[in-house]
Amino acid sequence: MKFPSSTGFAIFGAALIAISYGLARFAFGLFVPPIRSELELSAEVIGIIGALPLISFLFATMIAPYAADRLGARISAVISGGFGTAGLALISQSTGALSLGVGVFACGICTGLMMPALTAAMQALVKRSLHGRVSSVMNAGTSIGVAVAVPTVLFLAGAWRYAYLSFAILAAIGVVATWFFIPSVSRVTPSNAAPPPPISALQWARLFRLALFAFVMGFVSAAYWIFAPDLVVNLGALSSDATGWLWLAVGIAGLGGAVVADLADRNNPPITQALMLMMLAASLALLAASPDQLAIAIFSALVFGLAYMSLTGLYLMTGIRLLSGRLSMGPVLPFMAVSLGQATGSPVVGMLVNEFGYGDAFAIFAAIGILAAMLSPFYPRSIDEESEEEDETGLQAAYDNQLQLEEDESVKVTGSTV
């Protein structure tokens, strides 16, 4: 069987991420207004349901590396796509909070399993020197998926069931393609790679600080991901189809997040984090202040998309640098912290909307973001920055730090590649 080249794998991986992250996870907020209206759900219930895929994502992320190791990249990716297909189809047929909750919970499992499976496949198909760049392209799939969801809102205004059914069909096509284009390899490790050193107390302390910042960012961003479209429809009296332009703006701006994160790693991560958190808070404040102005709402979405994707990329690189030699752990911890923050923030913002209204709820979350930005001088730096003045930076360098190899390396493959 002929597998994709490095470029082909990067594009194919981005497409799978677009489905599993963009459509199965982040598109939900786009359809909250018509779903709430048809199923007669309160903001508090929507907030709880919005947290379910984040909780299932956390559980799936914990077992995903072991699943990829035991079952292989192909089977893990197929299982991920199967959960996504089933979850999206169930959402399209939801009759109440229970069936909707089960559907989004399944979608969260899909999201948590996909990236580790693709990472295992990447180690088999892509040269190590290109891992960082290929991962960056695949991560951009989230923004692409968010943007792809927009036409369904613009052309199927109010027809959210048909939209989710079309997403389920795309996910099913992805499952079939995965079976043919992803190898069944479990993992690839250099035979002469030095074992990773024990995690020191200093590393744990810095990982804790990183997790706190990632948690707060996820907490604040939950308000936008779940309730931004609902806010402009209910508070700003905009039409449901107009909210599609918000997610298009989020998707387009999010594509620049990888560039910003890479520049941040080359310059000053704490300052960049402060700036991006301020932008994240500003996007919430802008939307709450002028929900009836579509142009301002779209601008706030651009700001949010750039800030959110930049911060997730920055946390990814910091986690990798803090845990050099632990590929399965370094990128996972900050992403789990972000998801835990979102899972916590989603029901909280739902309760605040019920108690105080959209404007005050978004203002409270914006204030939390500003406070976190003020604490950015405590953002952790990588351990080796203190001892090495000149070091390669950027996403590729972060991945290169994962394994300490000698020049003449041989590769050992665990699992079959057919």
163 neighbors 89 (Cβ within 8 angstroms): no
Please state, in angstroms and rounded to a whole number, the distance separating the CA atoms of residues 282 and 287: 9
> Is 92 a residue whose pLDDT tops 50?
yes
Kindly indicate the confidence band of residue 321, based on its pLDDT and cuts at 50, 70 and 90: confident
Q: What residue numbers bound the domain in which 30 lies?
A: 6-414
Please state, in angstroms and rounded to a whole number, the distance separating the CA atoms of residues 400 and 321: 10
Give residue-wise pLDDT tens across range 239-255: 777 777 888 888 888 87
95 falls within a domain: yes
> Is 327 a residue whose pLDDT tops 60?
no
88 falls within a domain: yes
From the DSSP assignment, how many helices (H) and strands (E) are in the chain? Answer: 16, 2
Lowest average pLDDT, out of 286-295, 364-373, 393-402, 406-415, goes to 406-415
Q: Would you state the structure tokens that stand for residue 197, as one six-digit string?
A: 């050193």
Q: Would you state the structure tokens that stand for residue 226, as one six-digit string?
A: 């779940």
- pLDDT, greater one: 61 or 285: 285
Please state, in angstroms and rounded to a whole number, the distance separating the CA atoms of residues 304 and 284: 8
> Is 43 a residue whose pLDDT tops 70?
yes
Share the mean pLDDT of the chain: 82
Lowest average pLDDT, out of 33-42, 122-131, 278-287, 357-366, goes to 122-131
Q: CA angle, corner 344, sides to 29 and 227, nearest 5?
A: 25
> Is 116 a residue whose pLDDT tops 60?
yes
Give residue-wise pLDDT tens across range 4-20: 788 889 899 999 999 99
Which amino acid would we find at residue 355?
E
Integer distance in angstroms from the first to the last C-alpha of the chain? Answer: 7
Give residue-wise pLDDT tens across range 200-241: 788 888 889 999 999 999 999 999 998 898 888 888 877 777
Q: How high is the pLDDT of residue 69?
A: 80
Average pLDDT over residues 90-106: 95
> Is 415 a residue whose pLDDT tops 50?
no
Rg (CA), the chain: 21
Q: How high is the pLDDT of residue 390?
A: 42
Look at the chain and report how many structural domains it folds into. Answer: 1
288 falls within a domain: yes
1 falls within a domain: no
Q: How high is the pLDDT of residue 280?
A: 96
> Is 151 a residue whose pLDDT tops 80?
no
Q: Would you state the structure tokens that stand for residue 105, as one six-digit string?
A: 């919970």
pTM above 0.75, yes or no: yes
**Bridge partners of 66?**
none
Residue 277's CATH number = 1.20.1250.20
Lowest average pLDDT, out of 131-145, 274-288, 362-376, goes to 131-145
Kindly indicate the confidence band of residue 418, based on its pLDDT and cuts at 50, 70 and 90: very low
Average pLDDT over residues 88-92: 96
351: Cα separation from own chain's centroid: 24
Give residue-wise pLDDT tens across range 119-137: 888 878 888 777 767 877 7
Lowest average pLDDT, out of 90-99, 399-408, 409-418, goes to 409-418
